[in-house]
Amino acid sequence: MLTKRKFEEFFFQILMVISTIFVLGSLLLILGTVLWRGLPALNLAMLTQTPQGGYYLGKEGGILNAILGSLCLAGGATTVAVTLSLPIALYLRIYPVPHFTRDWIRLSLDILWGIPSIVYGAIGFTVMIFLGIRASLLGGIIVLSLLELPIMVRGMEEAINMVPKELLESSYALGATRFETAFKVVVRQTLPGLVTAILLAFGRGIGDAAAVLFTAGYTDNLPTSLLRPVASLPLAVFFQLGTPFPAVQDRAYAAALVLTVLVLGLSITSRLLSTRFIKNIIR
């Protein structure tokens, strides 16, 4: 006999299975769409040439400018962000920080994490006008590094938090200062976790369009100088999708495919790293 209770159980189980399939299905659908339009558009010329005759109109050439530009932007931003966030994360975890300061910085990190990238872009653009910098690789790197900072600090902090207290104490007992302990013991011990945080932040930085829209500009040329505008993959997708020419739209699809492969590759690598790359770790 099908009681109300059993029916309810059955009904909601079906609903839950449907929801889960829907969520996973949307992932497949997105990847499928990108592959379906991106793969036919992808060829060697696409990856090794710059667009001919303007990114919006020209039908020949590829997206090399955007690939290299994005790597420069995200690489530069990640370098800046690492140099800033490693000391911050170590400071928060290894040094005696007053309660209020620690809580305040935690809260700031949470808020910074949530600020939309378009707001970062707007603030960055305002400050750049104030300083007299035009849309350039430098501007893009500065804004992206701000965007990556909270992600990286939080990831690194989590990794550093896993270090056993005894290890720190043995280091102090051998006469090492906090500074030596932080940079020689803790960094080595937490390397996989740190690399994971860095890769995650890099992935976030390379995929972001709204922050670089104002600050890095766009160009058909390869990146040559810190003070020149630079192309990026997300903006290559955004601008070239809007043209009426199928050949130019193909470049957008190819750029989207390259971007997706890069970002998902990073995400999977960082996941593998966090489980496998642990040979430096003292247990």
Q: Judged by CB under 8 A, does residue 198 bind another protein?
A: no
**Minimum distance, C-beta of residue 111 to another protein, in the bound complex (Å):** 5
Q: Judged by CB under 8 A, does residue 13 bind another protein?
A: yes
Q: Judged by CB under 8 A, does residue 5 bind another protein?
A: yes
Task: Give dist(CA 201, CA 193) in Å, integer.
Answer: 12
Short-list 204, 237, 205, CA closest to 218:
237
**Residue 74 in tokens:** 């995200």
The binder of another protein chosen from 46, 147, 163, 208 (CB under 8 A):
208
**Minimum distance, C-beta of residue 188 to another protein, in the bound complex (Å):** 18
Nearer to another protein by Cβ, of 115 and 227: the residue is 115
Q: Judged by CB under 8 A, does residue 237 bind another protein?
A: yes
Nearer to another protein by Cβ, of 62 and 202: the residue is 202
Binders of another protein among residues 250 to 269 (CB under 8 A) are 252-253, 256, 259-260, 263-264, 266-268
**Minimum distance, C-beta of residue 195 to another protein, in the bound complex (Å):** 16
Short-list 14, 275, 98, CA closest to 106:
98
- For residue 163, count other CB atoms closer than 10 A to its CB: 19
Q: Judged by CB under 8 A, does residue 164 bind another protein?
A: no
CA torsion 266-270-276-278 (nearest 10°) is: 130
Binders of another protein among residues 212 to 231 (CB under 8 A) are 213-214
**Minimum distance, C-beta of residue 273 to another protein, in the bound complex (Å):** 14
Q: Judged by CB under 8 A, does residue 71 bind another protein?
A: no
Q: Judged by CB under 8 A, does residue 245 bind another protein?
A: no
The binder of another protein chosen from 164, 247, 271, 278 (CB under 8 A):
271
Which residues, 6+ apart, have CB-to-CB distance to 150 below 8 Å? Answer: 109, 110, 112, 113
Q: What's the distance, CA 152 to chain centroid?
A: 9
Cα Rg, the chain, nearest whole Å: 23
**Minimum distance, C-beta of residue 254 to another protein, in the bound complex (Å):** 11
Q: Phi and psi at residue 222, in whole multiples of 5°? A: -75, 155
Binding segment for another protein (CB under 8 A), chosen from 50-58, 99-107, 184-192, 218-226, is 99-107
Q: Judged by CB under 8 A, does residue 122 bind another protein?
A: yes
Q: Judged by CB under 8 A, does residue 187 bind another protein?
A: no
Q: Phi and psi at residue 60, in whole multiples of 5°? A: -95, 165
Binding segment for another protein (CB under 8 A), chosen from 45-53, 161-169, 223-231, 233-241, is 233-241
Binders of another protein among residues 27 to 66 (CB under 8 A) are 27, 29-30, 33-34, 37
The binder of another protein chosen from 125, 154, 163, 186 (CB under 8 A):
125
Task: Give dist(CA 249, CA 237) in Å, integer.
Answer: 8
**Minimum distance, C-beta of residue 145 to another protein, in the bound complex (Å):** 12
**Residue 230 in tokens:** 């630079």
Q: What is the 3-state secondary structure (H, E, C) of 21-76?
A: HHHHHHHHHHHHHHHHHHHHHCCHHHHHCCCECCCCCCCECCCHHHHHHHHHHHHH
